[in-house]
Amino acid sequence: MSTDVTTIAVALPGYSSSSTNNFQALSHNGEKNLAAQKSYITFLSELVTKLKEKYDATKVNYIGHSAGAMMGSTLTGFTPGLLDTITSAGGRYDIHEVVKSDKDLVSLIDYIDKVDSSTEFLLIYGTKDTISKPSVTKKFYQILEEKGLTATLIEVEGAPHLDLDMTSESVDAIVEMLDKE
């Protein structure tokens, strides 16, 4: 495996009470679903684009957990071709399933038809995840397959939401995906 792999990891702390960190959560004091706001996705797109340019990266791999997974997944369709691979652990892919009242929120389902067909998805879920239930990831895996996109689904038996992206099953799958490069 090459040690020169451009990878961006976004594991947003405190979101949905899934973290032991004491950082400000994306959902706090009446603020909710910030990770699904178009302004946050635009910021992330601009940030990744600038990092890609600054480091002259030809390929970008993204690893996201929870809200970071939702943001990265959305980014694949929001800015097609920016990410070559996306690892999404415990994410959400259709914000409209849980928030019906705010039509301004965005998630991957809103941009699914714009995703570059060469983007590879690695979806990871824990069987004991009560924040991003296994059914959410399994359903979206089916949608990716129906759209003809490359996707791998990893089940982590007994894993809760916290640190899902750091389980041995997750790390092994990430390494395997990056080894293909």
Helix, strand, coil shares of the chain, percent, nearest 5, are 40, 20, 40
Count of C-beta atoms within a 10 Å radius of residue 117:
10
Q: How far apart are CA 92 and CA 140, in angstroms?
A: 9
2 in any annotated domain: no
Structural domain count, the chain: 1
Q: Give domain status of residue 56, yes or no.
A: yes
Percent of the chain beyond pLDDT 70? 86
Position 158 in a domain: yes
In a domain, 1, yes or no: no
Sequence letter at residue 71: M
pLDDT band at 164 (very low <50, low <70, confident <90, very high): confident
Average pLDDT, the chain: 86
63 vs 163, which has greater pLDDT? Answer: 63
Bridge partner list, 176: none
Query: Domain holding 125: CATH number?
Result: 3.40.50.1820
d(CA 174, CA 61): 10
27 phi-psi bin (left φ>0, alpha ψ -120 to 50, beta other): beta
Predicted local distance difference test score (pLDDT) of residue 1: 40
How sure is the predictor about 28, in pLDDT bands with cuts at 50, 70 and 90?
low
Handedness of CA 155, 74, 10, 152 (dihedral sign): positive
Q: Which domain, by its residues, includes 92?
A: 7-179
